[in-house]
Amino acid sequence: MKSDHIKTLVQDPAVGSGVTVAGWLRTRRDSSGFSFLEVNDGSCLANIQVIADKNLANYESEIKKLTTGCSIVVRGELKESPAKGQRVEILADSIEVVGWADPEHYPLQKKRHSFEFLREIAHLRPRTNALGGVARVRSRLSYAIHEFFQRQGFHQIHTPVITTSDCEGAGEMFQVVTEQELNEGSPQSDGINSFFGRRAGLTVSGQLQAEVFAQALGSVYTFGPTFRAENSHTSRHLAEFWMLEPEMAFCNLDCNMDLAEEMLKYLLKDVVEHCQEDMALFDKFIEKGLIDKLRHVIDNDFVRVSYSDAVEELLKSGRRFEFPVSWGVDLQSEHERYLTEEAYRLPLIVTDYPASIKPFYMRVNDDPTTVAAMDILVAGIGEIVGGSQREERHDVLLGRMQEAGIDEEEYQWYLDLRRYGTTPHSGFGLGFERLVQFVTGMHNIRETIPFPRTPGFAPC
Ligand code: ATP
Ligand code: MN
């Protein structure tokens, strides 16, 4: 059915014209001789008010029985609205009830529900203002990511979801087995997938495959679902999340950081501009000062500091952290947040981490105890981006792989990239849900993805 989007009717109203709106009822209020219906169609946060006169054929039989959640199609005329807070309303010529929603059982009432409760009804929560808004902002951010990279001449690469390289995923990879193996009672204990003849799992990162295409197409990005079976019950971890991973040939760590900073600013600017209504809602109800927080990020240079200096900063803070700090330990979320929220009060790019805590593919610095890594930390979350310049020197890479106990046979293809026309190259991974979290102010990452998956939780 062709209907008019409320978004268009509200933003660019053609008063006096005939319109059709198809949506879900938010509320019904009866007055003498007519009813007010608030209808939402999901095209935007705003509802449109419909005036249903008692002379409508089904007024007594149906309209007066409408409750929250019913789906209806309204045909009528768009009018200037005398009421405050809305420019237009619809004077209905007809209202067709498409689907009833038994008020005895429909779980969404007019009052505000907790996010925990809404997670239990994942199939209905997008009908709330907050979760509907998150879905729209998420969609816009995804669009803006493609726009940013495509405009700069990057090519999107669809890296595989089933992967047979598990170097990064040690212990946190979901293994893939066939139904037949299960039916026969025993997936082989070495995890060999009989279909592929080797171990297979769900991807924990598309980076290694993106590197392949960067070494042919120059600048590429992959953006897709990523899986980690880490047993984290935090507000920042999901078992299934989306990751954006650009990878650039002929690009060193500075070039990598510049791109990441430019990209983040571009994305924030884009949503502040294009999602004003939803952003205003988040600013009011989810995180006070949200838009100012984003503008602060857009308008200022990120601080770039080495891991060693960051550790100094933490040590001299006099803070008692749950995890004590010393050179060589990985930064925990509490450290990351102290640095960005209190010490520097800006997004922070921490560089040159100890080689011992970073993966084998990161480029070894001249010192040579550190690697050319860079993590971007933001307020409220901590790490939002993790990246590095990759080790392009064949022998150094081989040495790091041997140290890490990685089977070089399996990674011949990865080593080959260093044997044939190697280049200095770099890339990073942006956790898409952490970005949505930062942008919307949602406290828990589970509100940023349509269907969250966490340990013990994957309802629909
Ligand atoms: P953390 O230390 O926060 O667990 P990480 O260092 O393991 O993250 P990377 O392997 O560097 O993460 O992945 C790149 C980015 O992907 C991270 O900066 C983060 O934004 C995001 N990310 C990683 N793990 C998760 C997860 N389980 N859920 C959601 N996003 C994640
Ligand atoms: Mn990381």
- The residue ranges of every structural domain in the chain are 6-99, 125-167+203-448
Distance of CA 445 to the CA centre of its chain: 8
Q: Residue 169: its pLDDT value, please?
A: 58
- The C-alpha atoms of residue 280 and residue 298 are separated, in whole angstroms, by 17
The CATH class that applies to domain 125-167+203-448 reads: alpha beta
- Residue 121, classified by CB atoms within 10 Å of its CB into exposed (0-12), middle (13-18) or buried (19+), is middle
Q: How many CA atoms lie within 13 A of 115 on its CB side?
A: 17
Does the beta carbon of 335 sit less than 6 angstroms from any atom of ligand 1? no
Both tokens of residue 21? Answer: 């709106």
Q: Residue 189: its pLDDT value, please?
A: 65
Residue 224, beta-bridge partner list? 243
Q: Residue 109: its pLDDT value, please?
A: 82
* pLDDT < 50: residue spans in the chain: none
Both tokens of residue 15? Answer: 């008063």
Does the beta carbon of 243 sit less than 6 angstroms from any atom of ligand 1? yes
- DSSP letters for 15-59: TTSEEEEEEEEEEEEEETTEEEEEEE-SSSS--EEEEEETTSTTT
CA of 204 to the centre of ligand 2 (A): 12
Which-ligand-closest: CA of 377?
A: 1
Does the beta carbon of 228 sit less than 6 angstroms from any atom of ligand 1? yes
CA of 206 to the centre of ligand 1 (A): 13
Residues 6+ apart with CB under 8 A from 66: 25, 28, 37, 72, 97
Does the beta carbon of 431 sit less than 6 angstroms from any atom of ligand 1? yes
CA of 340 to the centre of ligand 2 (A): 16
Q: Which atom of ligand 1 is nearest to the CA of 387?
A: 11
The reply to whether the predicted model has a pTM over 0.85 is yes
CA of 386 to the centre of ligand 2 (A): 4
- The C-alpha atoms of residue 321 and residue 324 are separated, in whole angstroms, by 6
Which-ligand-closest: CA of 434?
A: 1
- The C-alpha atoms of residue 150 and residue 142 are separated, in whole angstroms, by 12
CA of 200 to the centre of ligand 2 (A): 23
Identify the CATH assignment for 6-99 out of 2.60.40.10, 1.20.120.160, 1.25.40.390, 2.40.50.140. Answer: 2.40.50.140
Does the beta carbon of 447 sit less than 6 angstroms from any atom of ligand 1? no
Q: Which atom of ligand 1 is nearest to the CA of 204?
A: 10
Does the beta carbon of 385 sit less than 6 angstroms from any atom of ligand 1? yes
Alpha carbon nearest to ligand 1 atom 12, residue: 386
- The C-alpha atoms of residue 397 and residue 41 are separated, in whole angstroms, by 54
Q: Provide the 3-class DSSP secondary structure of residue 388.
A: strand
Does the beta carbon of 429 sit less than 6 angstroms from any atom of ligand 1? yes
Does the beta carbon of 204 sit less than 6 angstroms from any atom of ligand 1? no
Residue entry with tokens 């080495």:
306
